[in-house]
């Protein structure tokens, strides 16, 4: 049975996770979209993990055998890439390698919904990370997704995330104004990030890559999801403390902030007000 996500994470805890990535240099395989591929690869490297973008049939399954974690991103779903995902998933299952799903744009077209449903049936995902609309759509809750963007109101996102976690066995991350991390046993709301992250294309994809990088070095999926999401948001805040003229210069700051968020810096952080346990509306817990 899954456990509720903890709310007592300290700067030292986050420092240990960052040190583990630095020490282990996990190889993270990405089967992702071409729009944000370079940013995801660079951010993975800035976390001290090793990115590889092996996403073609044949090569994907072979490369997966040496990976520490794998990310599936459905931002583009050509038949060859979907086939490669299933091949990589088979290798991952045979070698106990965690797979993270970022269901980009699910809920916007029947094709993306079909791809996501097939993947959920075939793969035991360690973490599922999406925006409010994507997570709601996967959970079977009414959602409005335009292209790859979540629009509309999601007042019960915590219950949707927990429902999806219960049905899949995965830790679920719903990213939005406040990020939500859910297991089948509980939900935590995170306060970390900056509004400028929403002005840069690809930050959602980069969060998925971040969680995969953390899970490549950390055994526990919920720890990887919590620590990765926290570190990502804190880097977003630190990027805003540097001079920037707009989204482009902020994006550069963000990459620099990730590279500069090392174990020593993290250990000095006060995270006591960052996490809040959320009661379930459905269960009344």
d(CA 26, CA 109): 34
Q: Give burial (CB, 10 Å; 0-12/13-18/19+) of 56.
A: middle
Q: How many CB atoms lie within 10 A of CB 267?
A: 16
Q: And the tokens for 258? A: 């990730």
Measured over the CA atoms of residue 139, residue 142, residue 146 and residue 152, the dihedral's sign is negative
Structure tokens at 70: 């794998």
For strands 69-73 and 275-278, give the pairing. unpaired
β-sheet bridge partners, residue 27: 50
CB atoms within 10 A of CB 177: 11
Establish whether 1 is an annotated binding residue. Answer: no
Q: Which residues pair with 179 in a beta bridge?
A: 190
Whether 202 has a binding-site annotation, put simply, is: yes
Q: Is 129 marked as binding a ligand?
A: yes
Binding residues: 53, 129, 175, 202
Binding residues for substrate: 53, 202
Binding residues for ATP: 129, 175
């Amino acid at each position: 049975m899954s456990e509720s996500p903890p709310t007592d994470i300290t700067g030292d805890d986050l420092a240990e996770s960052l040190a583990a990535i630095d020490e282990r240099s996990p190889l993270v395989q990405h089967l992702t979209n071409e729009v944000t591929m370079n940013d995801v690869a660079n951010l993975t490297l800035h976390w001290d993990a090793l990115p590889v973008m092996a996403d073609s049939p044949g090569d994907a399954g072979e490369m997966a055998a040496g990976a520490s974690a794998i990310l599936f991103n459905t931002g583009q779903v050509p038949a060859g890439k979907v086939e490669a995902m299933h091949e990589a998933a088979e290798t991952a299952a045979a070698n106990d390698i965690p797979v993270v799903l970022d269901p980009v744009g699910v809920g916007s077209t029947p094709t993306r919904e079909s791809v996501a449903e097939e993947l959920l049936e075939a793969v035991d995902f360690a973490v599922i990370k999406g925006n409010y609309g994507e997570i709601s759509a996967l959970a079977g809750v009414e959602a409005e997704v335009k292209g790859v963007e979540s629009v509309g109101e999601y007042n019960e996102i915590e219950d949707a995330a927990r429902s999806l976690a219960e049905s899949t066995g995965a830790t679920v991350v719903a990213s939005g104004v406040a990020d939500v991390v859910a297991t089948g046993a509980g939900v935590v709301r995170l306060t970390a990030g900056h509004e400028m992250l929403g002005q840069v294309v690809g930050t959602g994809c980069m969060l998925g890559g971040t969680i995969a990088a953390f899970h490549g070095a950390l055994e526990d999926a919920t720890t990887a999801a919590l620590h990765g999401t926290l570190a990502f948001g804190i880097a977003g805040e630190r990027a805003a403390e540097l001079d920037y003229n707009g989204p482009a210069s902020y994006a550069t700051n963000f990459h620099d902030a990730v590279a500069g968020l090392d174990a020593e810096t993290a250990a000095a952080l006060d995270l006591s007000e960052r996490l809040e346990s959320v009661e379930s509306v459905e269960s009344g817990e």
